[in-house]
Chain A
Amino acid sequence: MKNALAALLLFAGLAAPALAKVQVVSTLQDFASIADAVGGDRVETTALAKGYQDPHFVDAKPSFILKLSRADLLIVAGLELEIGYLPPLLDQSRNDKIRANGPGYLDASIGCEILQRPTTQVTRAMGDVHPYGNPHYWTDPNNGRVIARAIAAKLSEVDPAGKAAYEKNLAAFEARLAAKQKEWDAKMSPFAGTKVVTFHDSWPNFANHFKLAIAGHVEPKPGIPPTPSHTLEIINLIKAQKIPLILVEPYFDTKTPKAIAAQTGATVLTLYPSVGGAPEIKDYFSLFDYDINAFVGAMKGTK
């Protein structure tokens, strides 16, 4: 009897991966895209937020509870980016695997280069600051590599039978990323040192990797919409430092950036921080393809 039960369990355990794909839920489409590449046909991925949505303000919709309740692996950005909606959803997911630090929980920020970790006391007088550092870190392709490795390792824990497949897929992802990075770096290198103004502080990792200098933000403080006095400061800054570009995330109003551009001659460019932000941005590679081509195109237009 015991043997029969053991055999049944063993059978169930072996049969499970063949029957059902590993259900991966991520908060952002960027992680879903990398999980797709690493997981291949062994995984099925879903992202809660859309790439053109402000990742700080995602509604805690009950329909997300259903997705989380079925998840084998949850990938989050961490650094409190999801603090406005994920904790209550996780509490109601009835899924112990994916709770913080559970076997199916992956904080993608771990191991990544995180910028702007506060070294002094932070208060909300600074706006909606993230006390653990800037959470928009996946815009550095080197962090993408770290995230892919972490996902492969985690998938191998969640689905040990697929370990070899995940390692193979990871190697392919890394090889492609290395080749792509050469291409991106070559395209961006002529613009090293270019000063830009961004709407929200979403781009420190991108700027750090591609050696751009972020001179200021249209938002006076994170989460606070533009004010006349700050806008004037930015106009003066752009004029004084001859800043060619104002980068705007797709979910912000371009009214103020356009007004600044009209006063200064700078170009407003919508740059997408996430996969899925525009229909052409289908995966993590096309995210950089798209943004870099847009950046280079805009820079050529400014000359």
Chain B
Amino acid sequence: MTIWKTLALGLGVLAASAQLSRGQEATPPPEPTPVPTATAPEPTPAPPPPPSQGQSQTSNYFNPSISVIGNFLAIAGKNPVDNQPNLSLRESEVALQAIVDPYARADFFLSFSENSVEVEEGFVTFTSLPLGLLAKVGKMRVSFGKINTLHLHVLPWPDTPLPIVNLLGGEEGWKGTGISLARLIPMPADIFSELTAQVFRGEAEGLFELRNRSDIAYNGHYRLFKDLSEATNLDLGFSYGAGPNATSTDETRRWTKLEAIDFTLRWKPLRTGNYRSASLRGELFRSRRDEPQELGGKQTARGWFLSGEYQLAKRWFAGARIESSDHADDASKRDTGQAVILTFWPSEFSQVRGELRRRRYAGGITANEALLQLQFAIGAHGAHPF
């Protein structure tokens, strides 16, 4: 019963925010736009002035571009397995990005939860290497599958799909500290193809555990992209990763080996794409975890999700997702879930999203929840996610 109340509340907030954004339009002074109109063009200086004018700002010239994205999440319903707070500023992500020198750029993404901070990513990218190589060094989201590479705020849902949670170490997914090398592999018919090889410290939260300095985690990713037509394109990825798991001892190194196939099919007619588009994405995972016999031996766990999103209007998107995943450390346990999602973008810089989710956890526990997410971005205009 409560779930319907929450849904009603959530939709109420959605509608209210839509109203709010309308209401805002009515309040400003009657001029159509605050910037000078074309009827009174200002005389233009021959050389365009630099972006920052005035002496005082020239010292800011080389400062990185800064943006902050707030991610507020409200959850209602009962979930004894994954008991997240009812109201939380789940993440405040600060991005600092700039060119280092003629050879490299650097990107830092600092993720603040309400009471702690983590370097979610912090890496330098060498963009001028020979042989068509692109190297990243630092801490980064691992190129394993597609969703794992994306930051929380660009996911098409307010939560993380089960296979990421169960097989890649938790909500946060797999992040690694090390080196990444990527090269374009020439293919006929204008197919984009990129091979990425990554080596990390053999440590990742909930996934790999470091015992010796020689413990290393690996990942390989092969991405193919093809424009099927002007409006339709297909993104395919194949990933293989491995690292020492927490059941390793000083004598025996036990591995967790991970495989994934991901696909994203997008449709966006170029002329009307501001109003209508659709995407279908899915990923299939397998985790093979060596465990000592007393813990059950080798665990081969599988997981997948399938998700679709359809754009209803310029600022409205509806979506649905189904998901299923075994537990990495006990493949006999399986969780499944279904969700429907509605997203409203007041502007390019803010987003309200509601999700109704049912998850059936191993052991016969069912959780019905309503999630309401509010995201807001300030600062430098980042690239649109693709």
A214 close to B (CB within 8 Å): yes
Can you list, as one digit per residue, whether each of B73-107 has a CB less than 8 Å from chain A (1) or not (0)? 00000000000000000000000000000000100
Inside 8 A of B38's CB, which chain A residues have their CB? Answer: 115-116, 203-205, 207-208, 213-214
Inside 8 A of B190's CB, which chain A residues have their CB? Answer: 63, 66
CB pair B127–A204 under 8 Å, yes or no, is: no
Known contacts A204-B37, A227-B22; decide if A110 and B48 are in contact (CB<8 Å).
yes
Can you list, as one digit per residue, whether each of B129-152 has a CB less than 8 Å from chain A (1) or not (0)? 100111000000000000000000
B118 close to A (CB within 8 Å): no
CB pair A229–B22 under 8 Å, yes or no, is: yes
B384 close to A (CB within 8 Å): yes
Interface residues in B47-63 by Cβ distance below 8 A to A read: 47-49, 51
* B270 CB contact (under 8 Å) in A50, A114, A116: A50
Inside 8 A of B253's CB, which chain A residues have their CB? Answer: none
Inside 8 A of A116's CB, which chain B residues have their CB? Answer: 35-38
Known contacts A83-B381, A84-B381; decide if A91 and B105 are in contact (CB<8 Å).
yes
In whole angstroms, how far apart are the Cα atoms of A223 and B381 in the complex? 14
Inside 8 A of A66's CB, which chain B residues have their CB? Answer: 184, 190, 192
CB pair B42–A119 under 8 Å, yes or no, is: yes
Inside 8 A of A92's CB, which chain B residues have their CB? Answer: 134
Inside 8 A of A223's CB, which chain B residues have their CB? Answer: 347-348
Nearest-CB residue, chain A, relative to B42: A117
A54 close to B (CB within 8 Å): yes
Inside 8 A of B41's CB, which chain A residues have their CB? Answer: 113, 115, 204, 208
Nearest-CB residue, chain B, relative to A90: B127
CB pair A229–B37 under 8 Å, yes or no, is: no
Nearest-CB residue, chain A, relative to B39: A213
A228 close to B (CB within 8 Å): yes
In whole angstroms, how far apart are the Cα atoms of A215 and B271 in the complex? 26
Give how many B residues have a beta carbon under 8 Å from the other chain's beta carbons: 58
In whole angstroms, how far apart are the Cα atoms of A114 and B35 in the complex? 13
* A85 CB contact (under 8 Å) in B47, B227, B315, B386: B386
For residue B36, give the distance in angstroms from its CB to the closest CB of chain A. 6
A80 close to B (CB within 8 Å): yes
Known contacts A52-B271, A84-B383, A221-B25; decide if A94 and B347 are in contact (CB<8 Å).
no
Nearest-CB residue, chain A, relative to B385: A60
CB pair A126–B270 under 8 Å, yes or no, is: no
* B184 CB contact (under 8 Å) in A69, A80, A96: A69
Known contacts A63-B233, A94-B133, A229-B25; decide if A113 and B44 are in contact (CB<8 Å).
yes
Stretch in contact with the other chain, from B26-34, B166-174, B238-246, B321-329: B26-34
CB pair A63–B25 under 8 Å, yes or no, is: no
Q: Tell me the interface secondary structure of chain B in the complex.
A: loop
CB pair B33–A126 under 8 Å, yes or no, is: yes
Inside 8 A of B1's CB, which chain A residues have their CB? Answer: none
CB pair A60–B386 under 8 Å, yes or no, is: yes
CB pair A99–B32 under 8 Å, yes or no, is: no
In whole angstroms, how far apart are the Cα atoms of A114 and B49 in the complex? 11
For residue B24, give the distance in angstroms from its CB to the closest CB of chain A. 8
Inside 8 A of B315's CB, which chain A residues have their CB? Answer: 225
Stretch in contact with the other chain, from A148-156, A163-171, A247-255, A282-290: A247-255
Inside 8 A of A300's CB, which chain B residues have their CB? Answer: none
B128 close to A (CB within 8 Å): yes
In whole angstroms, how far apart are the Cα atoms of A251 and B270 in the complex? 8
Query: Counting chain B CB atoms within 10 Å of each CB, which of A50, A60, A62, A87 scores highest?
Result: A62
Known contacts A94-B127, A227-B25, A250-B271; decide if A111 and B46 are in contact (CB<8 Å).
yes
Inside 8 A of A237's CB, which chain B residues have their CB? Answer: 32
Inside 8 A of A94's CB, which chain B residues have their CB? Answer: 127, 129, 132-134, 184
- Identify 25 residue pairs between A and B in the complex whose beta-carbon atoms are under 8 Å apart, listed by A's number: A53-B270, A61-B233, A62-B225, A65-B184, A66-B184, A66-B192, A83-B383, A88-B383, A92-B134, A94-B184, A109-B48, A113-B41, A116-B36, A119-B36, A124-B347, A201-B35, A204-B37, A214-B37, A220-B32, A222-B33, A224-B347, A229-B22, A229-B26, A233-B32, A251-B274
